[in-house]
Amino acid sequence: MGFRPKSKTIVVRFAEDHALYGLEAVFGGMDIRTYLRVTGMDGSEGESVGDGIERCAKALISWNVEDSEGRAVDPTPEAFMAQDHDFVLAVSGAWFEGLSGVPKSGPLDAGSASGETSPEAQIEMEILS
């Protein structure tokens, strides 16, 4: 019997004082080869912000977004890209923070020895911005 690694899932939520408080969006992760290329850590120039936002839209799995009449908005790349500029930038930024494993949303606990948690804890994570 072999080991089957699980894909990383990133849950994006925002703090109470944020304009997007109440949003919950779930995104897929990214394989390491793609991450290195996207960030430029492979020696390339990395992806543009626009390409990163498009990649984020394609990683969307689910969300609780509703339209102006209270109907659920399907979690599609098209629906993500149809949202307001500030919404897209905030959500895609939080997703990318989740990919890096070191969210800017808060300081490390006093007892923490590093900025990275164990791989087991990274399978599913929540980003508060």
d(CA 42, CA 32): 10
Assess whether pLDDT exceeds 70 at residue 110: no
* Weakest mean pLDDT among 6-15, 54-63, 80-89, 108-117: 108-117
Host domain of residue 69: 10-105+118-128
Kindly state whether residue 1 falls inside one of the protein's structural domains: no
Kindly state whether residue 4 falls inside one of the protein's structural domains: no
Element containing residue 55 per DSSP (H, E):
helix 49-59
pLDDT grade, residue 78 (50/70/90)?
very high
The count of structural domains within the chain is 1
Kindly state whether residue 111 falls inside one of the protein's structural domains: no
Kindly state whether residue 100 falls inside one of the protein's structural domains: yes
At 102, the amino acid letter reads V
Percent of the chain with pLDDT over 70: 78
Kindly state whether residue 52 falls inside one of the protein's structural domains: yes
Tokens of 109: 């606990």
Percent of the chain with pLDDT over 90: 72
Rounded to the nearest integer, the mean pLDDT of the chain is 85
Assess whether pLDDT exceeds 90 at residue 96: yes
CA torsion through residues 127, 94, 91, 63, sign: negative
CB 128 within 8 A of CB 21: no
46: left (phi over 0), alpha (psi -120 to 50) or beta: left
**What is the model's pTM?**
0.76
CB 91 within 8 A of CB 20: yes
Kindly state whether residue 96 falls inside one of the protein's structural domains: yes
